[in-house]
Amino acid sequence: MKFLETIGAYLLFMRRIFARPERRRVFFREMTNELEKLGLNSIVLVMIISFFIGAVLTLQTAYNMSNPLLPRYLIGYLTRETLLLEFSSTIVSLILAGKIGSNIASEIGTMRVTEQIDALEAMGVNSVSYLVGPKIAAALVINPALYVFSVFIGIIGGFLAGLSAGSVNYDDYINGLHFEFNPYYVTYSIIKTLFFALVFTSIPAFYGYNTRGGALEVGKASTRSVVDSSITILVVNLILTKILL
Amino acid sequence: MIEVKGVTKYFDTKKVLQEVSATFEKGKVNLIIGKSGSGKTVLLKSLIGLLPVDAGHIAFDEREITGDNMKNMKEIRKEMGVVFQGGALFDSLPVIENVMFPLHLFTRSGEAEKRERALFCLRRVNLNDVGHLYPAELSGGMKKRVAIARAIVLQPRYLFCDEPNSGLDPLTAIVIDNLLSELTHEYGMTTIINTHDMNSVFEIGENIIFIHEGRKEWEGDREAILHSTNQALNEFLFTSKFNRMVKENIS
């Protein structure tokens, strides 16, 4: 029963997010700020993780291909497929759910307990639309871009690790990257990143907005939002994979 | 002038406001006093439209905001300033942007004009050269003054303050009280202040409403309060030996 009540409250919350913003100029100014806060500040993290995961994927694939009948270009191929289909969309989004999600929940939660949201409402501002709308819009822009960036960096990481460890040569790796490339996988993953962006911004915002009490409750809202948005991302991933592939 | 008639508010089954009626006069400092948990913040939040009431009427200069008349609130919001207990300044914005915030929302003035107005309001609350600072860099008293500057930036007709001097030392508290009183008379605002600070009651209270267990228990001015025979009010105001002594001497 409590679960259904939460879902209902979340849907009502989402309806308020998509209300027309009072001032478009204010909305776009806030969205630009969010692009910097959510997107640019995540680039280094995405870059480091993607580089090392790409490197490890290549080395592990090479290590498990002791059979001489298996062509070496499969190393590049499997690295690419893993990055394209799952890692750069789902795993990066899960990481961002932790980084960005906890940030959003604690920011909005603190605004709630320090009456900053009441101050906005008292000024006649639709606080949900004002606070959450620009964050979602920014995440919808930045998450697909981070996906493309992550794939690119992961492939470079795999290439450098494979080459330096002598696991794969230049031609095999490049051939593997080209082998049976299906552009639809990119479309599929970008669609997933859009849904994940909606999840890892709106769920933490919902928990932050409904925080009552003090610092302890802000911390709880932050933790709960990361757990719930991560689980939701996994469920949405399964559903979208079933529908789109 | 703000008129409240028979306002009742429930939280689940608990009645937190019981048929409260009062008139808050224009150009005067109206105080709502009462113990913590007496319902005064609920009354204030109902007046500013943050909490819908379950029964009764609230009218701002004959413009109803209860029941089907909530649409009036949109217009009235442009005419009201609110100072919250902790200041409720936006942490992510510097002081100047905090004060300019209502101007961004409600006016189409140019950036320079808005900045000039915000600086004027900051000077009016005796704050100079703080525009570039962030709220976290301000003292409690400065935060309250910035919150007041933000509340008056649109030259409101109605000013609401929720315990504006809580957490401040007595000297700063009196500075804030006097500032609110001066601004009320200067702009002819209807000012409503929630407080349980006795200094505020005797320093600036021109029209005082005492709320006790969700009911309006007493109404009068600071002169009348000294001669009141209301038991709950006297218990609230004159609990300390010092205050009792003052009352006995004056009586």
Give the span between the Cα atoms of A23 and B105, in whole angstroms: 7
Is residue A237 helix, strand or coil?
A: helix
Which of A116, A124, A125 is opposite residue B88, by nearest beta carbon?
A: A116
pLDDT in tens, B36-79: 888 999 999 999 988 989 999 999 998 988 877 777 888 898 89
Q: In degrees to the nearest 10, what's the CA dihedral of A216, A220, A225, A231?
A: 170
CB contact under 8 A, A124 and B48: no
Taking the CA atoms of A78, A79, A82 and A83 in sequence, report the sign of the dihedral they define.
negative
pLDDT in tens, A71-116: 999 999 999 999 999 999 999 999 999 999 999 999 999 999 999 9
Q: In what order do the strands lie in the sheet with B29-33?
A: B80-83, B158-162, B190-195, B29-33, B207-212, B215-220
Place of tokens 């409402």: A121
Q: In what order do the strands lie in the sheet with B2-11?
A: B14-24, B2-11, B55-60, B63-64
- Which H helix or E strand runs over A227? helix A215-244
Q: How many CA atoms lie within 13 A of A63 on its CB side?
A: 8
Which residues of A fall within a CB distance of 8 Å from B78? 124
**Residue B251: what pLDDT?**
66
Which of B50, B77, B89 is opposite residue A118, by nearest beta carbon?
A: B50
CB contact under 8 A, A110 and B91: yes
Which residues of B fall within a CB distance of 8 Å from A106? none
Does pLDDT of A21 surpass 80?
no
Contacts of A157 (CB under 8 A, 6+ apart): A50, A51, A52, A53, A54, A55, A58
**Residue A17: what pLDDT?**
87
**Residue A171: what pLDDT?**
95
pTM assigned to the model = 0.87
**Residue A139: what pLDDT?**
96
Place of tokens 């998509």: A18
Give the span between the Cα atoms of A69 and A115, in whole angstroms: 67
Domain extents in chain B? 2-79+156-250, 89-150
- Which H helix or E strand runs over B117? helix B111-124
Average pLDDT of chain B is 89
Measured in whole angstroms, how far is the alpha carbon of residue B145 from the centre of its chain?
Answer: 13
Min CA distance, B135 vs chain A (Å)?
12
CB contact under 8 A, B85 and A123: no
Closest CA to B214 of B73, B54, B61, B60: B54
Identify the bridge partners of residue B64 per DSSP, sorted by sequence position: B59
Query: pLDDT-based confidence at A22, cuts 50/70/90?
Result: low
Identify the bridge partners of residue B218 per DSSP, sorted by sequence position: B210
Which of A22, A23, A121 is opposite residue B50, by nearest beta carbon?
A: A121
Which of A22, A110, A115 is opposite residue B84, by nearest beta carbon?
A: A115
Which of B45, B102, B105 is opposite residue A22, by nearest beta carbon?
A: B105
Kindly state the percentage of chain B with pLDDT values over 90.
56
**Residue A26: what pLDDT?**
80
Average pLDDT of chain A is 94
Query: How large is the average pLDDT for residues A159-166?
Result: 95
Residue type (1 letter), B10: Y
Q: In degrees to the nearest 10, what's the CA dihedral of B42, B45, B51, B57?
A: 90
- Rg of the Cα atoms in chain B: 18
Measured in whole angstroms, how far is the alpha carbon of residue A95 from the centre of its chain?
Answer: 7
Please say whether the beta carbons of B214 and B53 come within 8 A.
no
Lowest mean pLDDT among A84-93, A102-111, A123-132, A206-215: A123-132
Counting one residue from A and one from B, how many pairs have CB atoms under 8 Å apart?
47
Range with the largest mean pLDDT of A67-71, B40-44, B246-250? B40-44
A141 burial (CB, 10 Å; 0-12 / 13-18 / 19+) is middle
Does pLDDT of B249 surpass 80?
no
CATH of domain B2-79+156-250: 3.40.50.300
Chain B positions contacting chain A at CB under 8 Å are 45, 48-50, 73-74, 77-78, 80, 82, 84-86, 88-91, 101-102, 104-105, 160
Lowest mean pLDDT among A93-107, A193-207, B199-213: B199-213
pLDDT in tens, B104-132: 888 888 999 999 999 999 998 888 889 99
**CA dist list (Å): A184 to A35, A149, A190, A193:** 27, 17, 10, 14
CB contact under 8 A, B77 and A123: yes
CB contact under 8 A, B90 and A124: no
